[in-house]
Each structure stands twice: as C-alpha cells, then as structure tokens.
Chain A
Amino acid sequence: MKTFKIGGIHPAENKLSAASAIEVLGLPKQAVYPLSQHIGAPAVPCVAKGDVVKVGTKIADAGGFVSASIFSGVSGKVAKIDSVIDASGYRKPAIFIDVDGDEWEESIDRSENLVKECSLTPEEIVEKIKNAGVVGMGGACFPTHVKLCPPPGSKAECVIINAVECEPYLTADHRLMLEKPEEILVGVTLLMKAAKVEKGYIGIENNKPDAIKVMQEKAVAYPGIEIVPLKVKYPQGSEKQLIDAIIARQVPAPPAIPISVGAVVQNVGTAFAVYEAVIKNKPLFERIVTVTGKSVEKPSNFLTRMGTPMSQLIDAAGGLPEDTGKVIGGGPMMGKALVNTEVPICKGSSGVLIMNDKEARRGEERPCIRCAKCVSVCCMGLEPFLISTLASLNDWERAEKEDIVTCIECGSCQFTCPSNRPLLDMIRMGKSTVMGIIRARNAK
C-alpha cells in the first residue's frame, strides 16, 4: 500500500466520533467573523454597524489576490466591528452579527437534489469559487482560487484530493465522504475542469475502509477519478507528503510549490465546498466540525454555521467535562490550545478536541540524549534537534542553512522525543523569524 517515503509516525487514532452521523447545529445568538481567517491579506468589511444581512450575504471583501471574501452564516443585524480573541489567542478585528431568524439569500439553491452537469468554462468555475470565498478546508485555509491559477510557466497535470484525515480524533472528512460521496465527486470533477486536467486522485487512509468502499463504488461513474487507499501514517495529510505518496514526486524546497511538480492538492471538504459554490450558488458559510475527546459525553460531528462560538458545540456534545485540561482548536498534532471557548468557528476549524488533565500535561523536559528519533521521524528530512537548538541560540544564519523554513510543523519530532523536549515550539519560533529575515532581504 502506498505511503510517503521519509519519516512519519503513527499516533493512537482515537477516532471516537467516526460512527456519529453529521448533525445540524442550532443557530448561535451572536455570530463572530474574524477578518483574517485565511492565509493572505485580511478581508475588508463591506457592511457597517446596523446593516441587515441574510444567510450568504457577503460581509467582507477579499483584501487582495491571495485573500478570500467572508460571508455571513446567519441572518440578522451587524452589531459592531470590533476585535475578538481568535484561535491564535490574540485579538483580531472581526464582524459581530446579532442573529435574528434564518433568512437565506434567494440566489442559493437549498434543494437536496444532486446536479452532475455543469456547462461553465474553467475560468467561470474559478471565478465562482473565488466569489464564494472558498479556501482550503483542511486547516491551512489557503484560498482555493489561487491554487487553481497556476503561475506562468507551470502546468497542472493532476488534481489530488486530500481525504487522508491523518490527525487523530478528527472525523469530519470521514463523515462527509460517507454521507455526501456524490457531491464530493462532482466537486472533484469541477476542480479537474477548472485546473484543466484529466486525472484526479482521492487519497484515503485505510483506517476508513467504509469511506474507501463508498467512494470506490460511486467513483466508477466519474471518469478520470481514482481512489487511492493509503497506509496509515502521520503526516500524510500534508500536501508534500500526499504528493509523494500518490504520484511519487517530491516537491523541492521553497519557493517551489506543489504546482511545480504538476499537482494541485485540495482537501475533500474543499471539493464539497466547490460543489456547493458552483452548482448550488452557496458561498462558504458552514462546515463540518468534529467535537471530541476521551471524556466528552457524546463525541459528534456537527454541520455548523461559521461564527458560532465553540462553547455552543461543546454544550451540544454534552458540555465541558470536569477533568478538562486543554481545549484544542483542530487536531491534537497541529491544533492550538485555546484561551477560551468563545472562539468562533472559522473556515479552517476542523475540530474541537477536549483533552483531559492527564492527556494534556506535557512531560518534564530533560536533556537531549542524541537518540536521533526526531531525525528518523522527520518527514522533511531535517534534523529537528539541531534546528531547534539553533533557534534557541538565535543563530538564524545557520538555521536557514539547515533548511528550517522547509519544516511543515507537523510535530512528529516533539511527539516522539523521549526527553519531552519542546522541539516544535522552538522550530516554529525560529521558522517564523527566519522567514521574516528572508522576506526583508527579498524586499530590498
């Protein structure tokens, strides 16, 4: 069975909510939309205090080419444009909407029937995706239309759909594949058309045999789409690792991007969002969020309007357990511990993980014993013990030479370290510093 070549780990899967069907979550009292919930320039508000909005009304325009518009997921009145603490822990500007009823924009097709045909040209599809504010739903939130517009000189050869969901605990993509397989496949066809390619792969790890089976059965009717079962290994859901696993090509170091080797990688959730945006005229304002954890009463998958506070999801899953140690936005490997549970659901919020006290505690940090476990699990072929030390010594020049910027921050090194060293913490800080230095140098 296929997988990527270098490094990788296999943490306990803990897919507790895999059997829970997607439930529609009720509306919040107030929805909050941070203006920067994607990679690139923050969006610019196009509503003012007191404006009445419907579900699907655009509330903020993209702030540049690499940016995405934001749409309201609720109907009501704009209460204020103020700052809110988002998943990063810092205050960011956001639009607050007081919810009143549930009135949708008329242009959205709310029927459930599946439409397979689409007569739009590739350019029109990209335009529709752009106008619906679709971004990568896996968590990185890179604007989808940018990936579909290859820079001059590069040509896409295939579309790879990331249905790996290699993060432990999360099951949002898994449930989506089980419940909306045809919609996903139409979405993939649209993405293939937009990228002007004939071939599409959907990579699914083989810990989801039911999803593989459903997708394989349905994919027969869609020419050019191949379902690729993959061996379970973290971080297979990373773009570069997935390309390596499926088409055995390696993306060179930055500034090279996946398109340099002819691949356009999109998340399975994105494929579904593309289907809804292009066929149903529905902009991106809701998503599936997994709420899970060992002490959670009812691990669930919710179809949630964006802007809903995480506390509402937690309550719907049985409330915050007493032994809560950490609440994490995202999965246990790449997610971030939250400062409070009022953080709103954004485009990239794939899950809310509640860790109990015992699980959440970090082990005592001890000296490095040079076992090189971190080196053998690093999927980018780096030496985490070295680059984390260089970062802690502020030796940016050498850290750059040791390719700190190619780190994908998967956290495998820190996971595997027997001395509990905060390797990823240091590398993250070093990477952002070195990237700042490189940007400043290029700007000169």
Chain B
Amino acid sequence: MDLILVAVISLGAIGLIAAVILYVASKKFAVYEDPRIAQVAEVLPQANCGGCGYPGCSGFAEACVKAGSLEGKLCPAGGQAAMSKIAAILGLEAEASEPKVAVVRCNGSCENRPRIVKYDGARSCKVAHATSAGETACSFGCLGCGDCVSACKFDAIHMNPETGFPEVDEEKCTACGACVKACPRVIIEIRPKGKNNRRVYVSCVNKDKGAVAMKACKVSCIGCGKCVKECSFEAITVTNNLAYIDPNKCRLCRKCEAVCPKNAIVSVNFPPRKPKVETPAAVETPAAEAPKAE
C-alpha cells in the first residue's frame, strides 16, 4: 500500500515539475509568428508550385506579410482572386495582374515535321536535348518526351498522341511556369491570356536560316519578315530568323496570320473567319478587331 502511494506521489511530483519547466520555457523562448502568415497561407492554393518565385506557399505567405506591400507579388495559381483576398487580410492593395497562360510555341506534329531519325535514348526531353538534335531536321522544336507534362502540378498539360506534342488545358493552367523551366528548348512561353482569351502568337522557335527551316517543317518560321511589314502596331520583331509577337503591343488584328506564308502564326479562340469575299480591307479589319471594343 505504502509502495503504491510513494510511486503515485513521486511520479505526480515529477510531472508537476516538468509541467512548470515546460510552461516557463514556452513563455520564455516563445517565437512570435505573425498570425497573418497563417491566414494568408490559408487562402493560397497550397500547390507549392513555386510559380511565385518563393519556396512554396508558406514562403510566399511570409514574404507577403513581411514586405508590407504586394508590389510585384503574384500567386499565379490562385490568380487575382487569391491576391485580392491576401490584400484584404493585410490591408494592402493588390496589383492588378493580367491572367496568363502557358503557350506551346511549336506546331511540328508528325504530319508537319517528318521524322528523319529515331531517338532510342532515355525518354526525357532533357536527355534527348543534351545528347541529340531530336528526331526531326528541326533542332529547336518539341522533342515530345513530355518533361513538361510531368512537371505540371495542375494536370494542365498533356501529350496529344496524334500530333506528338503537348497541349495546354487553358482552364486548368495557372501559368506557374513549371513547364517553361522543364522544357530544355524553351518552347513554352507564359503569355497574357488576352482579351476574351484570344491570342495571336508565332508557334515556332526555329532560329535556323530560312532555307533550312523551310525544309525541316511545314509550319516553321523562316524569318521572312512579311508579318513585320504587315503589322501596324510594331508588335512583331524578327531576331535570329525568328519572328516574335509582343503580346503587350499586339492588338489581335490577325493581319499577320493572314500573310504568313508558312502558317507559323497561330490565333486561338477567335470566331471562325468569314469566308473571303471581295470586300475592301477597311471593312474586314474592324470586324476582326471588334473584340477590342468590348
């Protein structure tokens, strides 16, 4: 009987002392963490995609709270909605940001770009790029091993088995940029979604001279410069035999698409063009530019 009592009392005493020590330590060595960090982290998507440039969502939350301003900060996955929630929590103003989307700038499907050799190395674009020029005569285009697909955390990019290159699901894409980093040939670009989701871009990254690019692929940019002359807004530049359309200057008139001899310029989400009738250009242009007014 005595023995049990001693045990209970001594254990109780040890427990009490330990509790006191723990209590004092927790007060004395307490680390203050801004409660807002947890609040901000809660509204973030918790995808830890790294698209914001910080190590994961908690890193971004901490940076937002500590910086005291939301200038230059954007969670691409959460988008404007998440940023305005963060702004409300922190009492700051969110920067207006344009929604963006990943764009695959290659159209070299099996049909457009004939395979001239067979690559039998590791199924990885990085390896294929480092060890060979790829299966086609174009040493700039998509290698088709799908590094971008495995890099995507939002299931937004998939290989199309028919064409042999990746396609972006615009609904799911958050423009976090993981695929851009994964692509060894820098084919994927993050571009503004554009008005009404409409975009015009050069779907080619081939920097070879015209004659070489011409042979390699049916829809390669040959750097002829016709689009540059056609563009009324100075949005197109040709460097290293490759045209590039600046999305900030482009007014989506689609004149360049019409003049491109190789169909390398692509427009997406536009209504189908009206069949060409003998009408003066002045009539056609406003029709194509109509979405701007909205």
Q: Which of A87-95, A201-209, A228-236 contacts B (4 or more CB under 8 A)?
A: A87-95
Select which of A85, A91, A425 is within 8 A of B131 by beta carbon.
Answer: A425
Known: A89-B139, A91-B212, A425-B122. A339 touches B130 (CB 8 A): no
Known: A89-B132, A91-B139, A339-B116. A429 touches B208 (CB 8 A): no
**A90 in contact with B133 (CB, 8 Å):** yes
Report if A419 contacts B (CB, 8 A).
no
Report if A426 contacts B (CB, 8 A).
yes
Q: How many Å lie between the Cα of A425 and that of B208 in the bound state? A: 26
**B130 in contact with A428 (CB, 8 Å):** yes
Residues of B within 8 A of A89 (CB): 132-134, 139
Known: A91-B212, A339-B117, A362-B120. A429 touches B130 (CB 8 A): yes
Q: A390 CB to closest chain B CB, in angstroms?
A: 13
Q: How many Å lie between the Cα of A340 and that of B139 in the bound state? A: 14
Residues of A within 8 A of B122 (CB): 365, 392, 422, 425-426
Q: Which residues in window 322-376 of A have CB below 8 A to B? A: 336-337, 339-340, 361-362, 365
Q: B143 CB to closest chain A CB, in angstroms?
A: 12
Residues of A within 8 A of B212 (CB): 83, 91
Chain A residue at minimum C-beta to C-beta distance from B125: A429
Q: How many Å lie between the Cα of A89 and that of B126 in the bound state? A: 15
Residues of B within 8 A of A20 (CB): none
Q: A421 CB to closest chain B CB, in angstroms?
A: 8
Chain B residue at minimum C-beta to C-beta distance from A362: B120
Q: B254 CB to closest chain A CB, in angstroms?
A: 33
Chain B residue at minimum C-beta to C-beta distance from A423: B122
Report if A432 contacts B (CB, 8 A).
yes
**B130 in contact with A432 (CB, 8 Å):** yes
Report if B127 contacts A (CB, 8 A).
yes
Q: How many Å lie between the Cα of A353 and that of B165 in the bound state? A: 33
**A85 in contact with B127 (CB, 8 Å):** no
Q: How many Å lie between the Cα of A239 and that of B139 in the bound state? A: 33
Chain B residue at minimum C-beta to C-beta distance from A82: B209
Known: A89-B132, A339-B116. A429 touches B139 (CB 8 A): no
Q: Which residues in window 123-168 of B have CB below 8 A to A? A: 124, 126-127, 130-134, 139
Q: How large is the interface on A (under 10, 10 to 19, 20 to 34, 35 or more residues)?
A: 20 to 34
Residues of B within 8 A of A429 (CB): 124, 126-127, 130-131
Known: A89-B139, A91-B212, A339-B116. A425 touches B121 (CB 8 A): yes
Q: B119 CB to closest chain A CB, in angstroms?
A: 9
Q: How many Å lie between the Cα of A423 and that of B208 in the bound state? A: 32
Residues of A within 8 A of B209 (CB): 83
**A428 in contact with B132 (CB, 8 Å):** no
Q: How many Å lie between the Cα of A88 and that of B117 in the bound state? A: 13
Residues of B within 8 A of A90 (CB): 133, 139
Q: B129 CB to closest chain A CB, in angstroms?
A: 8
Q: How many Å lie between the Cα of A386 and that of B132 in the bound state? A: 24
**A339 in contact with B133 (CB, 8 Å):** yes
Q: How many Å lie between the Cα of A362 and that of B126 in the bound state? A: 19
Residues of A within 8 A of B130 (CB): 428-429, 432-433
Q: How many Å lie between the Cα of A89 and that of B131 in the bound state? A: 9
Q: Which residues in window 205-222 of B have CB below 8 A to A? A: 208-209, 212
Residues of B within 8 A of A426 (CB): 122, 124, 127
Chain A residue at minimum C-beta to C-beta distance from B211: A82
Residues of B within 8 A of A365 (CB): 122
Chain A residue at minimum C-beta to C-beta distance from B151: A394
Q: How many Å lie between the Cα of A323 and that of B121 in the bound state? A: 20
Residues of B within 8 A of A337 (CB): 117, 132
Q: How many Å lie between the Cα of A432 and that of B129 in the bound state? A: 12
Residues of A within 8 A of B134 (CB): 89
A52-96: CB near B (< 8 Å → 1, else 0) gives: 000000000000000000000000000000010100111100000
Residues of A within 8 A of B121 (CB): 422, 425
**B133 in contact with A425 (CB, 8 Å):** no
Select which of B116, B131, B133 is within 8 A of A428 by beta carbon.
Answer: B131
Q: How many Å lie between the Cα of A303 and that of B205 in the bound state? A: 41
Chain B residue at minimum C-beta to C-beta distance from A432: B130
Q: B108 CB to closest chain A CB, in angstroms?
A: 16
Residues of B within 8 A of A428 (CB): 127, 130-131
Residues of B within 8 A of A88 (CB): 132-133
Residues of B within 8 A of A425 (CB): 121-122, 124, 127, 131
Q: How many Å lie between the Cα of A429 and that of B125 in the bound state? A: 10
Q: Which residues in window 92-122 of B have CB below 8 A to A? A: 116-117, 120-122
Residues of A within 8 A of B120 (CB): 361-362
Which of B117, B122, B127 has most chain A Cβ within 10 Å? B122
Chain B residue at minimum C-beta to C-beta distance from A360: B120
Chain B residue at minimum C-beta to C-beta distance from A339: B117
Q: How many Å lie between the Cα of A337 and that of B124 in the bound state? A: 18
Q: B39 CB to closest chain A CB, in angstroms?
A: 33
A407-444: CB near B (< 8 Å → 1, else 0) gives: 00000000000000010011011001100000000000
Residues of A within 8 A of B117 (CB): 337, 339-340
B199-240: CB near A (< 8 Å → 1, else 0) gives: 000000000110010000000000000000000000000000
A139-160: CB near B (< 8 Å → 1, else 0) gives: 0000000000000000000000
CB pairs A–B below 8 angstroms (20 shown): A85-B133, A89-B133, A90-B139, A91-B139, A91-B208, A91-B212, A336-B131, A337-B117, A339-B132, A339-B133, A340-B117, A362-B120, A392-B124, A422-B127, A425-B122, A425-B124, A425-B131, A426-B124, A429-B124, A433-B130
List chain B positions with a Cβ less than 8 A from chain A: 116-117, 120-122, 124, 126-127, 130-134, 139, 208-209, 212
Top 10 nearest A-B pairs by Cβ distance? A89-B133, A422-B122, A425-B122, A429-B130, A429-B127, A425-B127, A425-B121, A89-B132, A90-B133, A362-B120
Q: A362-B120, A429-B127 are in contact. List 6 more A-B contacts (CB 8 A).
A: A83-B212, A88-B132, A88-B133, A89-B139, A91-B139, A426-B122
